[in-house]
Amino acid sequence: MSNANFNDYVCLPYLNIENTFLISNYKNAGGYSIFEELLKDKNVVDVREEILSSGLYTKGPFSKPISEKWDKFERKGEQEHLQKKVLIANGQESLSGSFKDRYLMENFPHQVIESILITSFLWGIDMAFLVIRPEYSFAHERMMKAYDEAMKNGYLGENIFDSGYYLNLTISLGNSGVSSGEETAIVNGLEGKRSFPSVRDLSLNGYLNRTTLVHNIETLLNISWISKMGAAAFRKLGTINNPGTKLISVSGDINYPGVFEVPLGTTFVDILEDFCGGSSDPEGVQAIFPAGVYGHELSELDIPLTRLSYESLSEKGIELGSGNLLFVGKGRDLEKVKEISLKILAESSCGYCTVCRDGLPRFAVNYKSLSEIELSNTLEGLALSGACSYSQYPKRLLKV
């Protein structure tokens, strides 16, 4: 009997249950039941259709409808030589200011494993990886313990509960650095190559030439929830165009930094007051960077008028990113914050592509001396370069 709260939470239904990092507590709270039901009763094609019709967006920094990713994966997977598929759960979370996946792995490791099992089962995948950022040593430790428990209890390995289904899950450490969290960089790293991004279609030429699906952990938890509760229940949360919830990692000038799950469409005022305990700056907040250093800021005037949703933010030309919200108090110089952000972007380039490696540091030093047209052209040029999306961030941040 489940005592988890699936009605209010998509990612954190086990939030108020103690020690669900232990398999006994997780199972007592109803854990692994979604997977067990799926294994016994449900038609995977129907469940996949249900998820596709839910309006779910992937939860990474370049969020898109899940159908875009799955259509490609399914189409390529139909080709005979690509029928062996791989799932990679992206726990790299290397974007500065984001720590929601770390929180999930540290506190709900069995839920992470169950979500990997569910997505793998839905696609008939027999090989999966969970790649964890190397700084997350505690999350890695927790995940390895949970893996051992899941193996002992028959949730992983061969012939799971006599269903004939088999999943080989490997928990692996990735590399540090923002670009190392990019999909192709993760696959390169797992293959024993430098974990740098490359121009590579993972649905055609993924891990060891298999067709490969990469989702971050939050997206996998959303898939699990929808496979249990259905698309209609998912659409009751959030807004009409952006259903569901979003995990946010909040930091900066607030009283309670941390990870919270909020329905999409929640106002930023509610997030600040109800979740973050208000501003730690006595004068209040002057701006919020919804995507941290990787996107434009929401000004003080816009804060009461804007909701946390892809739709509401994009009307103002602002990105939500992976929900790494940074609050900036009135006591700080906003221009200085942007200057530092550009420096962070320049310093964090992996250095694989010349324009990004050499262009970003020069740009970070000289951008103030450029005219508006020069600035716009330079940002456009930077955004078009490179094997990954990294060089687009300055354009998002400065938005000229």
Partner 1 sequence: MEQELSLSSSSLLKIQNTIEHHQFIESALTEIFFIAREEWKYFTIPKIEYLSNLLKLPSDELMVFLSGLSNSTFKNSARNEIYVCKNLACLFKGAEQILDFLNTEFNLNEEGSSPDNRFKVQVKYCLGQCDKAPCIQVNNKVEHVTDLREVAFLLEENP
Site for partner 1, rule CB under 8 A = 93-99, 102, 127, 129, 133-137, 144, 168, 170-177, 180, 189-196, 208, 249-253, 257-259, 292-293, 324, 326, 332, 337, 340-341, 344, 347-348
Whose Cβ is closer to partner 1: residue 51's or residue 344's?
344
CA distance 398 to 113: 39
Query: Strand 211-216's sheet: what is its strand order?
Result: 168-173, 127-132, 85-91, 211-216
Whose Cβ is closer to partner 1: residue 55's or residue 109's?
109
CA distance 104 to 13: 11
Whose Cβ is closer to partner 1: residue 95's or residue 117's?
95
Whose Cβ is closer to partner 1: residue 4's or residue 171's?
171
Whose Cβ is closer to partner 1: residue 194's or residue 362's?
194
Distances (CA, A) of 121 to 6, 34, 76: 21, 12, 18
> Closest distance between partner 1 and the C-beta of residue 40, in Å?
28
The count of residues in the chain is 400
> Closest distance between partner 1 and the C-beta of residue 291, in Å?
12
Whose Cβ is closer to partner 1: residue 177's or residue 263's?
177
Whose Cβ is closer to partner 1: residue 249's or residue 391's?
249
Any idea which residue has 């990474």 for tokens?
A: 60
Instruction: Determine contact, residues 91/132, Cβ cutoff 8 Å.
Output: yes
> Closest distance between partner 1 and the C-beta of residue 243, in Å?
27
Tell me if residue 186 falls in helix, strand or coil: helix
Sign of torsion over alpha carbons 322, 327, 332, 335:
positive
CA distance 355 to 152: 50
Residue type, 345: L
User: Which pairs from 228-231 meet CB under 8 Å and 24+ separation?
Assistant: 228/6, 228/34, 228/37, 229/6, 230/50, 231/50, 231/51, 231/53, 231/54, 231/55
> Closest distance between partner 1 and the C-beta of residue 151, in Å?
10
CA distance 215 to 109: 16
> Closest distance between partner 1 and the C-beta of residue 12, in Å?
15
> Closest distance between partner 1 and the C-beta of residue 390, in Å?
13
> Closest distance between partner 1 and the C-beta of residue 288, in Å?
12
Any idea which residue has 């020690």 for tokens?
A: 19
For residue 385, the tally of other CB atoms under 10 A from its CB is: 16
Whose Cβ is closer to partner 1: residue 70's or residue 108's?
108
Helix (H) or strand (E) holding 111: helix 109-123
> Closest distance between partner 1 and the C-beta of residue 127, in Å?
7
> Closest distance between partner 1 and the C-beta of residue 371, in Å?
28
Instruction: Determine contact, residues 185/67, Cβ cutoff 8 Å.
Output: no
Tokens of 152: 């002992």
> Closest distance between partner 1 and the C-beta of residue 59, in Å?
16
Q: What is the DSSP letter of 287?
A: E
CA distance 246 to 264: 6
Whose Cβ is closer to partner 1: residue 44's or residue 173's?
173
Whose Cβ is closer to partner 1: residue 46's or residue 347's?
347
